[in-house]
Chains A and B, each alone.
Chain A
Amino acid sequence: MPDFTLDHVIIAVRDLEAATEDYVALLGRRPSWRGEHPLYGTANTLFRIDNTYIELLAPSAGKPKDKRWRGELERALEERGDGPYALAIGTRDIKRAVKTLRHNGIEIADPRDGDGRDIATGAVRAWRNAWASPSTTNGLRLLLIEHRSPPDALPIAAPDADDSAYVTRLDHVVILSADLEAARRVWSDGIEARLALDRTFPERNTRILFYRLGDATIEISGGAEQPEEGLGKPDRLWGFAWGVGNIEATCRRLADRGIETGGPRRGVKPGTLVATVKGPQTHGVATLLIEHTPESFAPQSRAPHGAAYDNAPEQRAFSGARLQRVIIATDDVASALVAWRSTLALPETRANETNAARLDAGNMAIELVQPVPGSPLAAVAAERGTGMAGLVIEVDDLAAAVATLRANGIGVELQTESATGRPTASLERTQTNGVPVQIVGR
């Protein structure tokens, strides 16, 4: 299998200045590069993100030596206006890649040298590329590219937004196809990309081929049923789904800049939140923002959410902490027990006390307690009524936990648990958002 990656995606635009401004807002990042190709008569703005880069490409003034490239771009702009233009497939060995593609039936030009100059810094990047003939790619503009300059010649696009409210990566490319079998021949047989999933969604009358190209996903989407009149029609590069760190914050930021989004809402893929970006600022690109939050919905995976959340360093004294039980204050343990046992079918685990009962709730317990007059629990119940009246957190080492709490200025009162005779620590309620918290040792 070839070493292909999705090197970059190209968006054709008429007005590079306006498009650059819109994409700075949309991506929440400043350009990596503002360049020109004097030889071809085009100019571009590049944004390097985690797994690829984005190229906004526009015709420029002047008389290029080689007019074909600009002519093709102008024709596309004429026909469709601004929009997704081409996908650049990266390789480390373009000569071999060209051979592979030709062998697989894709017509592709001989590799040619190219370079671009950054208009601000004067930096130059060099590459070799080769364009495939759309007549053999089911209508898509695809090119191979081998970079001659080191990867860091193109700097990362600096984030221009707070709170992870910016695009971090290209989540997937969307291609629409009226002839999925033809598309499959191009991507599976021609490019030898890995088909990760071929899935039909009958309720949406949609079938999607998911290809992996390096660290990016290409989704080729068509009808589950493909009418005959669509067969042989060209595929269309439709849009991009951008991964963002925090989709809520991103939507808010975009709204502040007058860019409308629909969402966030739950994505089709479990554990994702998505928002469609509407309006002219996408320059004809179907645009989706996506945040992956598998841990939001899967209690079995508690992996930290990348760098998206600002987490304090783990406190060693609490590293093994668990919620041992929740205390419920009641004025009648017996009848509360009936309600909890019968309604939620929680089994009782300890019933040897007259003013308390304990129920097993899987990974923790529910303790129903009738407060003893004058006790702290009675004070809580008097203030807030019956119901939830405290959390008991179990730690490995009570003394270490108490020391950590005190070092952080939390008021701690050591007591002896009446039922067990074991020491417990009660925390100052004003410092725990009003929640009565007790800490016990394991």
Chain B
Amino acid sequence: MTFWRDVLGLRLHTLRTMDDQGVKAALLAIGDSEIELLEPVVDDNGVARYLQRKGEGLHHICFEVDDIEASLEDLKARGTEMIDHQTRIGLAGRICFLHPNAMRGTLVELCQPLEAEAHG
């Protein structure tokens, strides 16, 4: 936060601990994108292990999609290696993660903001 919020002046608009995932997350707005800062609150989840192994740094990239269920079905149909075989609720909305093997070492997340899902 010292750098992203205080030096760059990016606006922090969400700060939340997600107990089910064992992380504290902050979302800061930059243009039409967001920077997400993740801090583990337990010492045995993916984020904690990543930090132990590699130290602080870029962790994953998240793309917004219009219809996450369709995207996920499509990926599965093409045999893409997935971490999540079903979508779940995350900070950014309904989400799923691709396995880094599928993207040659990059952890990719897809998300569909909840508001688009819960209309009407």
Contacts and interface: CB of A to CB of B under 8 A. Distances in A.
Interface stretch (A41-49, A210-218, A226-234, A296-304): A296-304
Contact of A302 (B3, B29, B56, B108): B29
Interface in B2-23: 3-17
A363 B17 contact: no
Interface in A294-347: 294-299, 302-305, 309-316, 318-323, 326, 328, 330, 335-336, 339-340, 342-344
Among B30, B55, B106, which residue has the most Cβ atoms of chain A within 10 A?
B106
A16 interface: no
B102 interface: yes
Nearest to A409: B7
A317 to B, nearest CB: 8
A387 B93 contact: no
Contacts of B7: 315, 404-405, 408, 410
Contacts, number: 148
A304 B13 contact: yes
Nearest 9 Cβ contacts at the A-B interface: A322-B31, A315-B9, A434-B56, A434-B57, A387-B105, A388-B58, A270-B118, A323-B33, A363-B32
Given A313-B9, A384-B54, A393-B8, 4 more contacts: A271-B115, A315-B7, A340-B103, A434-B58
Contacts of B55: 434
Contacts of A393: 8, 30
Contacts of B107: 387-388
Interface residues of A, number: 65
B75 interface: yes
Among B5, B59, B103, which residue has the most Cβ atoms of chain A within 10 A?
B103
Among B31, B58, B98, B118, which residue has the most Cβ atoms of chain A within 10 A?
B58
Contacts of B92: 296-297
Contacts of A318: 8-10
A326 B16 contact: no
Contacts of B68: none
Nearest to B89: A266
